[in-house]
């Protein structure tokens, strides 16, 4: 169980901002922090990790107090049982991928190291140094390194942004398995709606330093709770007018589909927007292939 209460004055491009958050998270649960750039997501992760001191508040993880402003408790990062992947990977440049993982490995867990290397697809790359690896490959090393200690709390800041779809899927499945096997509690920052829906039990939407909405991914993203059973989330790729209707081309996972909407609806859409596509279960036809 994690209880966090964090208050911090932050400075962003838009000026000063008061971050004030409170949330509880059960052991083995995963929470996604979702919101615009500068809303305070990364700062929250850094405060949980002990890399950024809050102005006031409290962090208690599994009954252990990591931070308490009133009691003057502030455990350094190395004493907090966490794994993290930040956007800049922060790998040791002079160590190979394998050595980067070994650095954090507990004694007697060598089998787990091999499993991690295999699942992250690092078999061929394990003896290369970060400088010889691509962004996506470095991200995989960083993710494997974060998991190597089976931490109580895993903090992930856009952990798969540099990966292609297939590798992303593979590592998401791996994360879900690892979470179930080791009871990992995960706090994730992600803008990828598919990833958020797949990986998180709960989503907290951050706006200017505070949580404006919290709930399951379905509650948060399918706000209208439309009864239609044929629902997907997708991204707008293209908007095109044809006579009195507008044809919206959408990317849903790896599929490109088209949906016809009215002029009024088209005016509310822009290329890049995330949308929920809903239809009644009565409409689609199925063709066995």
Contacts with another protein by CB under 8 A lie at 224-229, 242-245, 260-265, 278, 280-283
Residue 282 Ramachandran class (φ > 0 left, ψ -120 to 50 alpha, else beta): alpha
Nearer to another protein, 105 or 247 (CB): 247
Nearer to another protein, 52 or 222 (CB): 222
Shortest Å, Cβ 255 to another protein: 21
| 151: three-class secondary structure by DSSP | coil
Shortest Å, Cβ 214 to another protein: 17
- Residue 214, both tokens: 């919290």
Structure letter (DSSP) for residue 106: P
Task: Note whether 139 and 163 are within 8 A (CB).
Answer: yes
Shortest Å, Cβ 217 to another protein: 17
Q: In what order do the strands lie in the sheet containing 245-252?
A: 255-261, 245-252, 230-242, 274-279
Shortest Å, Cβ 89 to another protein: 43
Nearer to another protein, 79 or 223 (CB): 223
- Residue 103, both tokens: 């650095």
State the greatest distance between any 2 C-alpha atoms of the chain, in Å, as a whole number.
68
Nearer to another protein, 252 or 259 (CB): 259
- CA–CA separation, 173 vs 210, rounded Å? 30
Nearer to another protein, 53 or 215 (CB): 215
Shortest Å, Cβ 231 to another protein: 10
């Amino acid at each position: 169980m994690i209880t966090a209460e964090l208050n911090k004055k932050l400075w962003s491009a838009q000026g000063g901002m008061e971050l004030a958050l409170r949330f509880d998270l059960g052991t083995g649960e995963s929470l996604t922090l979702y919101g615009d750039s500068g809303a305070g997501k990364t700062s929250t992760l850094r405060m949980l990790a002990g890399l950024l001191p809050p102005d006031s508040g409290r962090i208690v993880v599994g009954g252990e107090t990591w931070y308490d402003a009133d009691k003057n408790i502030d455990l350094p990062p190395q004493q907090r049982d966490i794994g993290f992947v930040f956007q800049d990977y922060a790998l040791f440049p002079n160590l190979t991928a394998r050595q980067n993982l070994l650095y954090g490995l507990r004694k007697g867990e060598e089998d787990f190291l091999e499993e991690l290397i295999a699942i992250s697809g690092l078999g061929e790359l394990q003896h290369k140094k970060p400088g010889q690896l691509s962004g996506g490959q470095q991200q995989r090393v960083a993710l494997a390194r974060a998991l190597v200690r089976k931490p109580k709390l895993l903090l992930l800041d856009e952990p798969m942004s540099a990966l292609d779809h297939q590798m992303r899927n593979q590592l998401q499945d791996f994360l879900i398995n690892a979470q179930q096997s080791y009871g990992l509690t995960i706090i994730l920052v992600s803008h990828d709606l598919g990833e958020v829906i797949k990986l998180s039990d709960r989503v907290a939407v951050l706006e200017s330093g505070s949580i404006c909405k919290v709930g399951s991914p379905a509650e948060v993203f399918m706000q209208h709770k439309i009864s239609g059973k044929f629902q997907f989330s997708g991204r707008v790729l293209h908007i095109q007018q044809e006579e009195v209707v507008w044809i919206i081309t959408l990317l849903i996972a790896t599929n490109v589909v088209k949906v016809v909407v009215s002029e009024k609806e088209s005016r509310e859409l822009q290329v890049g927007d995330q949308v929920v596509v809903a239809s009644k279960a009565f409409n689609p036809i199925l063709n066995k292939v």
